[in-house]
Amino acid sequence: MQLALTIAKAGQRSFTVPGVVLCGIVFLLAPVAHAVDTNRQAMVRDITTIQGVRDNPLVGYGLVVGLHGTGDTQQTIFTVQSLANAMQKMGVLINPSTVVVKNVAAVFVTASLPPFARPGAKLDVTVGSVGDARSLEGGVLLMSALHGPDGEVYAVAQGALLLGGYSAGSGANRKEVNAANTATIPNGAMIERDTAVDLSGFKMVSLLLNNPDFTTATDIATAVNTEFGKTVATALDSRRVDISVADTTPQSVPLLIARVQGLMLNVHTPAKIVINERTGTIVMGGSVKLSPVSVIHGSLSIQVVTTYKAAQPGMLPLAPPGFAPNGPAQQAGQAGAAGYPNGIPQPGMSQQGLPPPVLVPQTNVDVSDGPAESMKLDEGANVDELVSGLHAIGTTAHDVVAILEAIKAEGGMQADLEVQ
């Protein structure tokens, strides 16, 4: 039965979507984020960073002890070697080839060193298993040095592990919740090296935009110049805005940065669609516009079902019901040879000394091609009309991904399409 759906919104054009009634179709399109206005108010601190002021990654290697038999096995050779080295530093000599322990695991330790970090400050660290340990539950990280990209030691980590999951049982009778081989240590590392940046020597403060945009960069420079009443900021490109420290005559560079970061301005959101094919998530900006386009979408379903029936070894597979290529005599002969009516064992009947029957697979292929659905969008259609139209014709998340890619290839979508 043909249906016609008319979609109309206040202040927008309407379009008609012909369709048919589809049963058993679930619309899996993830929530779509959009905004009514393409511009939004934001503070400079939320959309920029200061060049030279950033985090730095730290990484180290260590041992976790105190596990309840869930540590690395003897096959993980480097764990035993690391344990022997650690014991040697404590004045105990052991032979790694004769040591068998199950409550020790080798791990990598990671952390992020924030800007202006001072010695004695604490850091959160993340611990991940390197070998084949089943769980780090109940473990304690021994003192581990954390190195920066330059190879220098910037922090030292140690402490009890905090897991967000657990692992119980073994083999087939095992249950896991979240990741049991990754843990955290809140405030588990102490900074040992001063990495603070001296702002007093800055001659120029450079703002770096998180999302490059020439319009936003120009607006930032204009807002800064308006704030100080003279030209002190210049937009160099779509990502960088330079502010002259000498021209602003501030009491200090931190006060200048705080004053600039507190400015409000309009942020221009680019027309962009982000698609994650693994999760079926589709996010579209409200500024996405579509040219006149017609979409015809159909569905093809192929179902393969394999069933098994009993047959006597050495005999031909049973024929389908109602099929007798050599007449009833052959079917009767097969039944008699197998010792069962129709070749299928019956309760209370014996095999009469014959080998047990075997299972013979029978495969059926069912192909169905659904009727094509159509949708038409007029000039200037937006995200609301597109999503409503796709919902009306019963598309799934994977169908929407294919339709959007086709619309982009045809040139009907005025937006960037990013597939993750």
End residue of a domain, out of 250, 268, 286: 268
Q: What is the pLDDT of residues 163-220, one digit of tens each?
A: 876 666 665 566 666 678 899 999 999 999 988 888 888 889 999 999 888 999 999 9
Burial per residue of 252-286, b for 16 or more beta-carbon CB atoms within 10 angstroms, e otherwise: ebeebbeebeebebebebebebebeeeeebbebbb
Residue 375 has what pLDDT? Answer: 64
Pair 158, 84 in one domain: yes
As a whole number of Å, the end-to-end CA separation of the chain is 38
**pLDDT for the residue numbered 388:** 72
Of 43-52, 263-272, 308-317, the poorest mean pLDDT is in 308-317
Question: Do residues 386 and 280 both lie within one domain?
Answer: yes
The verdict on 290 and 407 lying in the same domain is: yes
pLDDT at 333: 45
pLDDT higher than 60, residue 88: yes
Q: What percent of the chain has pLDDT over 70?
A: 67
The answer to whether residues 407 and 292 belong to one domain is yes
How confident is the model over 255-280, as pLDDT tens digits? 999 999 999 998 877 777 887 777 76
Query: 108 forms bridges with which residues in the sheet?
Result: 61, 128
Tell me the pLDDT of the chain averaged across its residues. 75
User: Collapsing DSSP states into helix, strand and coil, what is residue 316?
Assistant: coil
Residues 99, 10: one domain?
Answer: no
User: From CA 284, how far away is CA 33, in angstroms rounded?
Assistant: 6
Let me know whether 392 and 276 are in one domain: yes
On whether residue 291 sits in a domain, the answer given is yes
- Rounded to the nearest 5 percent, the helix, strand and coil shares of the chain are 20, 35, 40
CB contact set of 311 (below 8 Å; sequence gap of 6+): 317, 318, 338, 343, 357, 358, 359, 360
SS3 state at 75: coil
Please state, in angstroms and as integers, the Cα–Cα distance from residue 318 to each residue in 56, 270, 334, 352, following that order.
70, 65, 9, 20
242 confidence band (pLDDT: 50, 70, 90): very high
Contact of 200 with 253, CB cutoff 8 Å: yes
Verify that 165 and 145 share a domain, yes or no.
Answer: yes
| 413 and 281 belong to one structural domain | yes
| Range 226-233 average pLDDT | 92
Examine residue 356 and state whether it is found in any structural domain, yes or no: no
Rounded CA-CA distance 257/255 in Å is 5
- 314 lies in a domain? no
Query: DSSP labels for 245-265?
Result: HHHH--S-HHHHHHHHHT-EE
Amino acid symbol at 287: S
- Looking at the structure, do residues 406 and 278 belong to the same domain, yes or no? yes
Task: Tell me, yes or no, whether 111 lies in a domain.
Answer: yes
pLDDT tops 80 at residue 350 = no
d(CA 242, CA 233): 5
The answer to the question of residue 125 being in a domain is yes
pLDDT over 90 at 240, yes or no: yes
Mean local confidence (pLDDT), 135-164: 92
Q: Are residues 279 and 393 in the same domain?
A: yes
Task: Give the confidence band of 28 by pLDDT, cuts at 50, 70, 90.
Answer: very low
- 277 shares a domain with 414: yes
Domain count, the chain: 3
106 falls in which pLDDT band (50, 70, 90)?
A: very high
Question: How many C-beta neighbours within 10 Å does residue 160 have?
Answer: 14
In a domain, 352, yes or no: no
> Is 80 exceeded by the pLDDT of residue 284?
no
Amino acid 6: pLDDT: 34
How far is Cα 69 from Cα 176, in angstroms, rounded to an integer?
16
The last residue of one of the domains, among 191, 219, 238, is 191
Nearest residue to 158 (alpha-carbon basis) of 78, 96, 57, 66: 66
Taking residues 60-76, report their average pLDDT.
89
pLDDT band (50, 70, 90) for residue 321? low
Domain presence at residue 335: no
* Domain stop point among 135, 163, 191: 191
Asked if the structure places residue 305 within a domain, the reply is no
| DSSP per residue, 222-233 | HHHHHHHTS--E
Cα angle vertex 6, ends 5, 12, to 5°? 150
3-state secondary structure string, 80-130? HHHHHHHHHHCCCCCCHHHCCCCCEEEEEEEEEECCCCCCCCEEEEEEEEC
Q: Where does residue 161 rank: exposed (0-12), middle (13-18), buried (19+ CB within 10 A)?
A: buried
- Asked if 292 and 258 sit in the same domain, the reply is no
The predicted pLDDT at position 34 comes to 40
Q: Of the segments 31-45, 225-239, 322-336, 368-382, which one has the largest average pLDDT value?
A: 225-239
Domain that holds residue 21: 2-38+272-299+370-419
